[in-house]
Amino acid sequence: MLDLEEGVSSPGVAMGQFADLRPEFATFAWRVLSLHMLTYFLVGLVAFLALDYRQAFETTELRYLMRPTSSPWVAAGPALQIFRGLLFAVILYPLASDLLRRTNSVLLLWSLFLGFAILGTAGPSPGSFEGIIYTKLPISLHLMGLPEVVLQTLLFSAGLVFWCRKPARWKNVASGIGVAVGCLMSIAGVLAARSM
């Protein structure tokens, strides 16, 4: 195996182009957490409106699996992604330096999400191989949510690589505002759902 630390070329790695792109953990965790929350919220909102999740969760077989969209838990979902974002940061941090130096970093990170978190899940979630094998959901319901998660993980992967390679204060400010707005909207949704 070739030693990447000494600048020796390896397939898929740009020599010296990106030295050590892995920032301190707190910085990396903020980038992962905020990008996950923002892409999750924005892509999820578009998918919710475009794919009519309300109707699907109330009238199809998904009603036995998914909470109704009027549930306070569904409204809390975007704000609760803080914990999932932190989990992603902890998992990705040991790999970050090597991953970010590769010329195909976005594709590599995205393929990890596609392989482990979407298609190859350990449990039978909708859209996964296990879900198709072990659940009674029709293929149409398995395919319904895939565009959302595929697009969200692609945007997250591209955003993380871009942010780590080209850090800027404005990205911290913009992501801070975005996370705050997303959390406030999530809290407002919970309050509205509880008053129903």
Residue range 65-124, pLDDT digits in tens: 889 989 999 999 999 999 999 999 999 999 999 999 999 999 999 999 999 999 999 999
Min mean pLDDT across 51-55, 128-132, 140-144, 145-149 is at 51-55
CB 99 within 8 A of CB 92: yes
Q: Residue 78 and residue 83: Cα distance in Å, rounded?
A: 10
81: number of Cβ within 10 Å: 24
pLDDT at 1: 36
Nearest to 22 by CA among 40, 4, 37: 4
CB 128 within 8 A of CB 121: yes
Domain boundaries in the chain?
26-84+105-194
Contacts of 167 (CB under 8 A, 6+ apart): 23
The DSSP code sequence of 63-132 is GGTS--TTSHHHHHHHHHHHHHHHHHHHHHHHHHHHHHHBTTHHHHHHHHIIIIIIIS-SS--TTSHHHH
| pLDDT per residue as tens digits for the range 65-78 | 889 989 999 999 99
Mean pLDDT of 143-155: 95
The model's pTM:
0.85
Mean pLDDT of 44-55: 90
